[in-house]
Amino acid sequence: MNMRQRVPEIFLGLGFVGIMSTLYLGMNWAPSVSINAFESPAAQRIFYWHVPAAWSAFIAFGVLFIGSALWFFKRSPIGWRLHVAGAEAGLACGLMTVWSGCVWGAAEWGTPWDWTDVRLNTFGLLTLLALFLVLGRQSQPDGVETRDTFSTFGLYGFVLVPLTYIATRIWQIRHPGPVIAAGDDSGTLQSSMALVLLIGALSFTIFIIGHMMISMRITHLEQRLEQAQKALDGGN
Amino acid sequence: MAESLLSLVDLEVRRGMSTVLTGFNLEVASKDVVVLHGKNGSGKSTVIESCARLLPLEKGVIRHHGSLIVDSEGRRNLAKYPFGLTLQSNALLGDETIENHLSTVCSLSNMKTDLLPILEAYGLGHRRHDRIGQLSGGQARKVAVIAGLLPAMLSSQPRLVFLDEPDAGLDKSALSALISDIGQLREAGHAFLIASHHSQIMECATRLHDLEGETKQPQPTVSSWKAIGVHEKKGMLSTRVGQRYLRSTRAGIARNGLTALLVLGTLLALLDPVTESRTLLFGFVLAAPFAAGLVGDPVVYLMREQRAVDWWRAHANRLPSADLSSPVIGFILASLGAILFLNEVNWTLSFLGAGILWSTLICVRFIELSTLRLARPNAVFIKLLIPILILPWALIVEYAATL
C-alpha cells in the first residue's frame, strides 16, 4: 500500500491524537469558568468535546447534502459515496454531540433534554436523520430507488442545519447562545479556552475527513463486490 | 389513422442498479392490443408501471391521449381520462366487499353501473357482497382484472387499459371471458397494453412486442362492446373511500384509538391529579390525541396490503385517508382526558386535541409515504424521524397552560 492510499489512516491517526490532546488540555490545562456564571462549572469542560463534535457534525451534514445533490441531480456514483460517508460521520459526530450535551444539561439544567428547546430538537432530528439513513441503507437492496429516496432525505434534511444554527438567536430557551461569531462581546472567550477549542475543532475535522475517506473506500469496495457477485449469478 | 391514446418517447427507466429500458418508444392507438412478452426481467412490468405513473423516468416522456402524464423532469400529471390498471399484485383490500371495490373503480371514472352481469361473466355473481379476504387467490385475481377492464367497459369513448399478467391464477372460463372482453372492447375503440406470456392472451394481440421489436397480428372482426356506464359525479371520493375503509375494518379504533386509551390509562395510573402542575396536567390531557396521531394513518396502513397504495397513486393525487374522522377522535380523546385529569370538560383543550391528532396524522402519513418507492418500505426505520413532532406538541401544551 503506497503513501497515497494511507492518507485516510494518517488522517484518522492524527485526528485521534488531536482529540485525545484536546480532552487532556480541556480537562487539565484550560482555566475554569466563573462559579457565578454556571450552576455546574466543572461540567462546562465537556464543552471542549461538545462544540468540536457539533462543528464536525455540521461538516458531515454538509458532505451529506453535497453527496445527495450530486447523486440526485447528476447520478454521480461519487455523490452516493459522499452521501453514505456524510451520513455515517454525521451519525457518529451527532451522537457524540447529543450525548455530551445531555451530560452537560443534566449537570447544568437538572435535565438532560428539553423537548421545548428548538436547537436541541433540530440537532436531535439531524442525528436521527443520519441514523435513519445509515440503518435504512442497510435494510434496502442497493438501487436507484434506494439512492433517490435517501438522497431526497439528505437534501431536505439539510434545511435543519441553518435552522439549528439560528435557533439560539431566535428562540433561545435553554441552549446557550453562540460563543464564537456571536456578533457582540457576549461570547468572548479567554485565549487559552479558544486555543483548546481550536485544537479540538481541527482534530475533529481531520478525524472525520479520514473517517469519510475510509467510508467512501468501503462503499466503493462493496459496490465492486456486488458487481462481482452479480457477474457470478449471470446477471448484468 | 386511429387516435393515439398512449405515447412513450425515448424512455429510459432504472430499477435497482440496472437500466431496464433505454431509448424505448411505443405508440398505442385506439383499437390496438399490444402484448408485451419476453424473458423475465426484460422490462414488461416496468413499461406498464411507468405508463401508470408509478415509476420516475430517467429520460423521455409518456403521454395519455396527447397529454403529458410523466416525464424525466419530474412532472407527474393526473390523467385527463380514466384508465384501467391491473398490477401484478391485486391491489385489493381484504376487508372490502367486491361490490364496494368495483363501485369505487366506477366512481374514479365518474360513472356507475350494474356490476352483476360482469361479475356473473367471471363466475363471481354470487360473491358480490363477500369480502375480498374471503376469496381464493384466483377469485381475487378476477376482481383485480375486472377492476382493470371497468373504465373501458363503462365508457363509450376510447380508454387505455394496462394489464400486467392478467392471466395469472385465472381458470379456463375466466380466461375465455377475459379474452372475449378484450376483443369486444378493442372493437369499441379501446386500447390495451398487456404484459403476458400466455399463448391465448398473445393470440388476441394486434401487435406483439418483445421490447426490441414488434410483429403485427391481424384480428378478426368481432361484435363491439356496448358501454354500460351511467354518468354519476361524486365529490370527495378519496375521503369517502377512506371513511369506508375505516368503517369496514375498525382499523382506526384498533390502532390509533387503543394506543390513545393505553396512554391515558398509563398516565392515569401514575398521576395524582391534585398535586401536579397545570402544564403537566394539560400535557397528560393532550398526550392521548398526540399518541393516536403518532401511530400513523390507519387507512395508509391498510393500503400497504398488495400494493393498493400504488394502484391509488396511479389513479389519483389524493389517497384515501382518515383525515375526516381524526379531528373528531382527537376531540373525544382530549375531552375524555380532561374529564379524567381535570375533572371538567375544557373546550380549548378539546379543540386543541382535535387539531393535534389531525396534524400529527398528516405529518406521520407524509413521512411514511415518502419511503414508498423503496424495495422494502416497511424495513426502513422511518419512524426515527417522528420525534421532531414532540417539539410543536410540547410548545402547544405550554401555550395551552398559559391560557
Q: What ipTM was assigned to the predicted interfaces of this complex?
A: 0.71
DSSP A78: H
Helix (H) or strand (E) holding B310: helix B308-315
How many CA atoms are closer than 13 Å to the CA of B315, on its beta-carbon side?
A: 28
> Residue B249 pLDDT > 90, yes or no?
no
What is the DSSP track for B356-380? HHHHHHHHHHHHHHTTTTSSSGGGS
Residue B121 in grid coordinates: 361473466
Contact between B16 and A226 using a beta-carbon 8 Å cutoff: no
pLDDT category of residue A57 using cuts at 50, 70 and 90: very high
Closest CA to B336 of B324, B353, B321, B323: B353
DSSP B18: E
R_g over Cα of chain A:
20
Mean pLDDT for B323-350 is 91
Proportion of chain B in helix, strand, coil states, percent, rounded to 5:
50, 15, 35
Helix (H, G, I), strand (E, B) or coil at B346: coil
Strand ranges inside chain A, DSSP E: none
> Residue A235 pLDDT > 90, yes or no?
no
DSSP B257: I
Helix (H, G, I), strand (E, B) or coil at B19: strand
Min Cα–Cα distance to chain B from A121, Å = 6
What pLDDT, in 10s, does the model give residues B256-279? 999 999 999 998 887 766 666 888
**Integer Cα distance of A66 and A64 in angstroms:** 6
**Integer Cα distance of A234 and B327 in angstroms:** 55
Mean pLDDT, all residues of chain B: 90
What pLDDT, in 10s, does the model give residues B188-239? 999 999 999 999 999 999 999 998 888 998 888 888 899 898 888 878 888 8
Q: Which residues of A touch B (CB under 8 A)?
A: 75, 115-116, 118, 121-122, 124-125, 128-129, 131-132, 135-136, 139-146, 148-149, 152-153, 226, 235-236
Amino acid at B235: G
**Integer Cα distance of A57 and A69 in angstroms:** 18
CATH class label, A7-227: mainly alpha
pLDDT category of residue A192 using cuts at 50, 70 and 90: confident
Nearest CA in chain B to A152: B370
Mean pLDDT, all residues of chain A: 86
- Phi–psi pair at B61, nearest 5 degrees: -150, 145
Closest CA to A220 of A72, A82, A92: A82
* Chain B environment of A143 (Cβ under 8 Å): 14-17, 375
* Chain B environment of A175 (Cβ under 8 Å): none
CA angle A26, A28, A34 (to 5 degrees): 75
Closest CA to A207 of A80, A23, A2: A23
- On whether the CB atoms of residues B320 and B110 are closer than 8 A, the answer is no
Helix (H) or strand (E) holding B61: strand B59-64
What pLDDT, in 10s, does the model give residues B79-123? 999 999 999 999 998 888 999 999 999 999 999 999 999 999 999
- On whether the CB atoms of residues B116 and B109 are closer than 8 A, the answer is no
**Integer Cα distance of A123 and B191 in angstroms:** 54
* Chain B environment of A133 (Cβ under 8 Å): none
